[in-house]
């Protein structure tokens, strides 16, 4: 390896909720480490993915979606996202091109301007979900963004289908500083298996439950027993805020909880490469999303 031509650095992926940040990170890694849902504000923690090529290594930060926060948990999420800007060598701003209307852009203008003013490094714009729009719709979106920030390049992509992502990687790598390889080739993330398992369970809750339940839910891994190398035993607690939410998560005769456990177990088996037995409990902790002590306990503050 020619060390002088090797590039490495930190890339912060930021953007509004449901823009496709986690989908893009999973695509770049070629495997799933970040949970994906069609509901906004799915990502709560900053997730680090390590994308390694022949002559580069990108340390990619998937951050919570940018939004106007109200409760304490969402304020902490926004703090995580904005702090990532200060650590980055390159910022990738991603937005959902299929969901952008003139009315929505006007509503977000002041808010976005604040984000852009905090960016002090090279910045790329990825307009995602181009498979859902007509090509002529891209030009006004590109102009709107370019009028508000001096992007180094604008790349239309489909993170789900992979369209344009090779060009995006080339643009990102070309703007990274020369530097060393920080992680071995076979490490895709610094996240622990316990963290990813908790996220898998939370993803199933997001996908299977309704209304306010996903946003009032946290998952705590109580034990992770790997003493038997052929079968891991995991005990986890699903935390909610109210008894009505507990009833929804458990479901009629425990059917919802059984479905969450079944779907999560299948993903956990794929992740760990061995059999897994998952036990779930549901516990109420009132107003935990606005309690700094509990947020710190859950690693969200």
Cα distance between residue 85 and residue 88, in whole Å: 5
Joined together, the tokens standing for residue 141 give: 């979106």
What's the rounded mean pLDDT across residues 200-217?
86
Q: What is the dihedral of CA 19, 22, 27, 31, to 10 degrees?
A: -160
Q: Using CB atoms within 10 A of its CB, is residue 19 exposed (0-12), middle (13-18) or buried (19+)? A: buried
| E strands in the chain | 7-14, 47-52, 56-62, 90-96, 123-128, 153-156, 218-225, 231-240, 275-284
What's the rounded mean pLDDT across residues 220-239?
94
* Residue 31, pLDDT above cutoff 90: no
What's the rounded mean pLDDT across residues 162-176?
96
Joined together, the tokens standing for residue 236 give: 């986890």
Looking at residue 4, what is its pLDDT? 57
Q: pTM to 2 decimals?
A: 0.81
Cα distance between residue 276 and residue 200, in whole Å: 13
Joined together, the tokens standing for residue 80 give: 């995580």
Question: What value does the mean pLDDT of the chain take?
Answer: 87
Q: How far apart are the first and last CA of the chain?
A: 40
Residue, of 279 and 215, whose pLDDT is higher: 279
Percentage, residues of the chain above pLDDT 90: 54
- 């290594």: which residue's tokens? 57
What's the rounded mean pLDDT across residues 223-243?
94
Looking at residue 70, what is its pLDDT? 62
Cα distance between residue 119 and residue 123, in whole Å: 8
Highest mean pLDDT among 30-44, 99-113, 158-172: 158-172
């Amino acid at each position: 390896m020619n060390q002088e031509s090797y590039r490495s650095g930190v890339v912060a992926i930021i953007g509004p909720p449901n823009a496709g940040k986690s989908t893009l990170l999973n695509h770049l890694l070629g495997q799933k480490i970040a949970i994906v849902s069609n509901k906004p504000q799915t990502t709560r923690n900053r997730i680090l993915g390590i994308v390694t090529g022949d002559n580069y290594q990108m340390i990619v930060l998937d951050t919570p979606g940018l939004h106007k926060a109200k409760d304490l948990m969402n304020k902490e999420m926004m703090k995580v996202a904005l702090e990532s800007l200060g650590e980055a060598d390159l910022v990738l701003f991603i937005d959902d091109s299929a969901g952008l209307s003139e009315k929505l852009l006007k509503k977000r203008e002041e808010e976005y301007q604040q984000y852009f003013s905090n960016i002090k490094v090279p910045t790329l714009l990825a307009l995602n979900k181009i498979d859902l729009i007509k090509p002529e719709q891209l030009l006004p979106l590109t102009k709107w963004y370019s009028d508000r920030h001096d992007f180094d390049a604008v790349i239309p992509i489909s993170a789900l289908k992979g369209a344009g992502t090779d060009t995006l990687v080339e643009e990102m790598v070309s703007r990274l500083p020369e530097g060393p390889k920080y992680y071995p080739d076979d490490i895709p993330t610094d996240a622990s298996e316990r963290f990813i398992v908790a996220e898998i369970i939370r993803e199933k809750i997001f996908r299977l439950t309704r209304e306010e339940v996903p946003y009032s839910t946290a998952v705590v891994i109580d034990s992770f027993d790997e003493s038997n190398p052929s079968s891991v035993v995991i005990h986890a607690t699903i935390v909610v805020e109210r008894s009505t939410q507990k009833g929804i998560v458990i479901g009629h005769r425990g059917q919802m909880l059984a479905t969450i456990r079944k779907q999560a177990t299948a993903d956990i088996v794929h992740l760990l490469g061995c059999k897994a037995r998952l036990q779930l409990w549901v516990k109420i902790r009132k107003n935990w999303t606005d309690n700094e002590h509990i947020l710190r306990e859950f690693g969200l503050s």
